[in-house]
Amino acid sequence: MKSFLASVSLMLCVALASAADFDWKTRFPEGLVDANGKAVDLATLNNKTVAVYCSAHWCPPCRVFTPQLVKFANANKAKLAVVFVSSDKDSDQMFAYMKGSRMPWPAVPFKSAGGVAIKNEQEVTGIPTLLVFGKNGELLTKNGRDLDGLQKLLGK
């Protein structure tokens, strides 16, 4: 019995350690950029729930949802990090959208392999989409646009 409990305790410690040490570089190998194209340290995502926001300036539902997400993200910045994956036509439009809507979060570089991969992996077929990942990198929900539900995931 003691050996069983010791094994379970060891597995739990390993799981907790790996969750705390999740390397977001595996998801975003090209890193992140701010609205001016300057590099943003991936460490800003550590120990936070990470919402990947797939959106574009030309999308009317996106332009309605983005201000709501900006307000929500600002109110929950201690627990939540948002990363923008643009479906805009070019990087100039992406940066203009980030600045114009005052997105307080970084983006993956335009058309980066990491952004494309996460959209393909999660079968994103429409925008806006908000994918929510736990601190350990596991998908929590594809329905992050339900901000009340997202608030519950954050534990507030």
Give pLDDT tens digits for 83-137. Answer: 999 999 999 999 999 999 999 999 999 999 999 999 999 999 999 999 999 999 9
* Cross-sheet strand order for the sheet of 139-141: 80-86, 49-55, 129-133, 139-141
The answer as to whether 2 is a domain residue is no
Q: What are phi and psi of 10, to 5 degrees?
A: -65, -45
The answer as to whether 48 is a domain residue is yes
Contacts of 18 (CB under 8 A, 6+ apart): 136
The predicted pLDDT at position 111 comes to 94
Contacts of 142 (CB under 8 A, 6+ apart): 122, 129, 131, 132
* Nearest-angstrom CA–CA distance, 123 and 67: 25
The predicted pLDDT at position 125 comes to 94
User: Is the link from the previous residue into 67 a cis peptide, with omega within 30 of 0?
Assistant: no
What is the tally of structural domains in the chain?
1
Report pLDDT digits (tens) over 5-61. 334 343 444 444 444 558 899 999 999 999 999 999 999 999 999 999 999 999 999
CATH number of the domain encompassing residue 85: 3.40.30.10
pTM (predicted TM-score)? 0.85
CB 114 within 8 A of CB 28: yes
Structure confidence at residue 78 as a pLDDT band (50, 70, 90):
very high
CB 93 within 8 A of CB 107: no
The answer as to whether 76 is a domain residue is yes
The predicted pLDDT at position 81 comes to 97
Q: What is the DSSP letter of 108?
A: P
Domain span at residue 33 reads 23-154
The answer as to whether 9 is a domain residue is no
Beta strands in the chain (DSSP E): 32-33, 39-40, 49-55, 80-86, 129-133, 139-141
